[in-house]
Chains A and B, each alone.
Chain A
Amino acid sequence: QQQVKQSPQSLIVQKGGISIINCAYENTAFDYFPWYQQFPGKGPALLIAIRPDVSEKKEGRFTISFNKSAKQFSLHIMDSQPGDSATYFCAAASDNYGQNFVFGPGTRLSVLP
């Protein structure tokens, strides 16, 4: 029940296209959903995060959509650029879980020039 599922495992998008990564969870106690971006040889960096009281959050070209009833959330990258090529992780956290993050397995995004 602590698992976070993430799809697709890998994604290839043309420059200028929209990249969409989906995550799903089971534990309804989760109340914080961050997304991380990781470049090779580096640690993950926080990209954007959402709480379940809103259905959408946008920061620049990155948007999180959140569907509380379906227990799903997704990351949309608009106008994808080759510099966005990285691995993306979704995560979920809950005060009931000691604020420890449960991470999805990651999506490797490649944006072709």
Chain B
Amino acid sequence: EAGVAQSPRYKIIEKRQSVAFWCNPISGHATLYWYQQILGQGPKLLIQFQNNGVVDDSQLPKDRFSAERLKGVDSTLKIQPAKLEDSAVYLCASSRPGGTGELFFGEGSRLTVL
């Protein structure tokens, strides 16, 4: 089966600019996650979707970050305006319904904010 697809793989922007990342999960996976991984740290959950509904967005900085999954399939994560501390790898993951919690990860989108 095809894996989790993410784009772009790399993005460099100036602070205060905006950026958007796209994720297409594995077909049939109802749950989709966005994680932020800062260099040297473990991934931190930003938002979790179940189909097109938000399950957990408690750690999403809502003043600048937004995410949507309108049709319950692919998802977009947006940052506007970006700050220097947003430099990180943004990982998308998905899991199958009724699974054991195993996540399938994409290769990530590396953001550098200058």
A in complex with B = no
